[in-house]
Amino acid sequence: MYPAPDTTHDTQLRSWVASANQQGCDFPIQNLPFGRFRVAGSGQTLRIGVAIGDQILDLQAAGLIDSDDMNTLMAAPAAERQALRRNLSQGLSEGSAQQAAWSKALVTQAQAEMALPCRIGDYTDFYTSVHHATNVGRQFRPDNPLLPNYKWVPIGYHGRASSIGVSGQRVKRPQGQTMAAGASTPVLGPCKRLDYEMELGWFIGQGNDLGEPIAIGAAEQHLFGVALFNDWSARDIQGWEYQPLGPFLSKNFASTLSPWIVTMEALAPFRAPFVRDENDPQPLPYLDTPEHRAQGAFTITLEVLLQTSRMRAAAEPAVRLSCTNTTRAAYWTPAQLVTHHTVNGCNLQPGDLLGSGTLSGPEPHEAGSLLELAGSGKHPITLPNGEQRSFLEDGDTLTLRGWCERAGAVRIGLGEVSGTVIG
């Protein structure tokens, strides 16, 4: 059910693209993530590329694909995608007969303009971190922080695909209704409690027909890969509007994706057991199999960095706000999200995006949002230059990074996703 690492993950593989062999490189030959790009300023049609070191291989120029429609590539059967990965791995390996031809199909990443990696038709945001759900629940519902359905059902809501942008997005501070403490009438104005959410975005490859659920054992065959995702949140607007139907304007003004999709095949060496605390309810049978418990989770490390406008002016680097990994943060796996999303017959389509929800670990320094790190504004964070943050301010640049590493495998990265708040 779950493909094992193969020759494309060989730790001895090296590429004729020299930068791919550097220690700590996000995009070694064992990774090979997909994205869409064009030469900056060219106005060309977007091309499908694969990141290798600090370069991008143009797949159509290399003769590997006939169409630059990423959604069509994502919809291909898993066997076809795996064959393309093998071809890429062989052609980019040291000593390959393809080096002379493919070297002409390379574009330096620094010269490329990146776009969203595919057309996103629909976007669903889940709530997969029990630690985040509990932390936020304490602030909004101190007497009942974790609702009784949370440990039984993967909670999600349908978001807005049209406002999803790619890394580098400039995020305008949203307006909305808020209700001040002690007030009797809400007011319309700019958000004063702007926040980020450290998430992963899981992309659908092959879809399913309407009325045909996807079983847990087949769920990963319908996943194409994963990217970094920042779901910006207006906490003051959220607090007023989210009952009884959940987030609306507090969430749909902007979300930012990294430009590269790391494929499910690339993640094979970084599988982990799906473990549920014996004191918690165990998943219902449709969300559970022995194979899924053995290796249905993934270990992905995530970190958040902040650079204020004052830091940028002083040429000071961004500082880390938090760091965690998915085995500590995620209560539900990507396969369970796919299966639950379709159990009622909902039809998913190539390019659909499933957000993980904020991924917060069990310790305070692992929180994936300022709402948690700063205690809803009661305990502001002091930065190394003396500035404080309870929530994001204009000019702040927020960056998420992610990577996978373990003994016996080559480290691969998800790259980064950044966005800057503007007034």
User: Which H or E run includes 130?
Assistant: helix 130-140
pLDDT at 66: 92
Mean pLDDT (the chain) is 96
In this structure, how many other beta carbons lie within 10 angstroms of the beta carbon of residue 381?
Answer: 16
pLDDT at 199: 98
pLDDT(337) > 70: yes
Task: Quote the CA–CA distance of 44 and 227 in Å, as a whole number.
Answer: 24
pLDDT at 120: 98
281 is written with which tokens? 């309810």
**Structure pTM?**
0.97
C-alpha angle 168-173-178 in degrees, rounded to nearest 5: 150
Task: Quote the CA–CA distance of 299 and 325 in Å, as a whole number.
Answer: 6
% of the chain surpassing 90 pLDDT: 94
131, 132, 222, 292: the catalytic one is 132
pLDDT at 4: 87
What domains can be seen in the chain, in order of their start residue? 7-115 (2.30.30.230), 123-422 (3.90.850.10)
Q: How confident is the model at residue 36 (pLDDT cuts 50, 70, 90)?
A: very high
Task: Quick: pLDDT tens for 176-209.
Answer: 999 998 999 999 999 999 999 999 999 999 999 9
> Computed from CA positions of residues 22, 25, 31, 32, in that sequence, does the dihedral angle turn out positive or negative?
negative
The mean pLDDT of 329-347, rounded to a whole number, is 98
142 is written with which tokens? 């101190």
* Cα separations in angstroms, 363 against 12, 322, 368: 37, 10, 11
pLDDT at 49: 98
pLDDT(70) > 80: yes
Say which amino acid occupies 338.
V
pLDDT at 42: 94
* Cα separations in angstroms, 404 against 196, 295, 300, 401: 22, 15, 5, 11
Task: Quote the CA–CA distance of 342 and 209 in Å, as a whole number.
Answer: 10
Quote helix, strand, coil % in the chain, to nearest 5. 25, 25, 50
pLDDT at 1: 67
Q: Can 132 be counted among the known catalytic residues?
A: yes
